[in-house]
Amino acid sequence: MVKAIYPGSFDPITLGHLDIIRRIQPLFSELVVVVANSQRKQYLFSLEERVQLIQQNLGSLPNVRIDKCDGLIVDYAAAAGAQVIVRGLRAVSDFESEYAMSAMNRKLNSHVETMIVFTRPEYSFVASTMVKEVAHHGGDLSNLVPTNVISALAGRIQVKGR
């Protein structure tokens, strides 16, 4: 019975995130998608909106739930009784920050293990930041984010030059 958390900003959730959730969900008895809210970060979508955009895409995954966190992720994991923090890796450029974060988390709590899951190649370039940039320029988002996120972005972002 291994419980895991998958933390992130999810501002907004992308098809890359959803692919990771669907692939790891069968491996754990429970998976909590933890939406992080940092005072020092600026988000396009509010915490509630980010949670809702994820919720609408989880459908009938029985052992997956969503929660919020505004503190240290490793503290959240320990309090929730999760042994594993899952992070996704897209490219070598992700490696350094993920490695540093896992090392710091191990220092803070050596009972919580970080597991890295590689992205599928087709999502290796999909990042929430990039998605917002594409939306800003009116680009095609259909292979990058789920449809509810396309609608949410359309309502939030003024397309440049229109």
Find the binder of ligand ADP among 54, 64, 69, 126 (CB under 6 A). Answer: 126
Preceding amide of 62 cis, omega within 30: no
Check residue 105 for interaction with ligand ADP (CB under 6 A): no
How many residues touch ligand ADP under the rule CB under 6 A: the total is 16
Stretch that binds ligand ADP, among 54-62, 121-129, 133-141, 146-154 (CB under 6 A): 121-129
The active-site residue out of 87, 90, 102, 132 is 90
Segment lying near ligand ADP (by CB under 6 A), choices 7-15, 26-34, 77-85, 150-158: 7-15
Q: Tell me if residue 41 is catalytic.
A: yes
DSSP β-ladder status, 3-8 and 84-89: parallel
Catalytic residue of the set 9, 50, 102, 128: 128
Distance CA 19, CA 22 (A): 5
Closest to ligand ADP by CB, 37 vs 109, is 37
Q: Is 69 in the site for ligand ADP (CB under 6 A)?
A: no
Q: Report DSSP letters for 26-87, one per residue.
A: GGSSEEEEEEE--TT---SS-HHHHHHHHHHHHTT-TTEEEEEESS-HHHHHHHHT--EEEE
Known catalytic residue: 132?
no
Q: Hey, what are 118's tokens?
A: 């590689």
At residue 113, the 3 state secondary structure works out as strand
Smaller CB separation from ligand ADP, 95 or 147: 95
* DSSP symbol at 6: E
By CB under 6 A, name the one of 128, 141, 146, 152 that touches ligand ADP.
Answer: 128
Pairing of strands 30-36, 84-89: unpaired
Q: Which of 33, 57, 74, 87 binds ligand ADP (CB under 6 A)?
A: 87
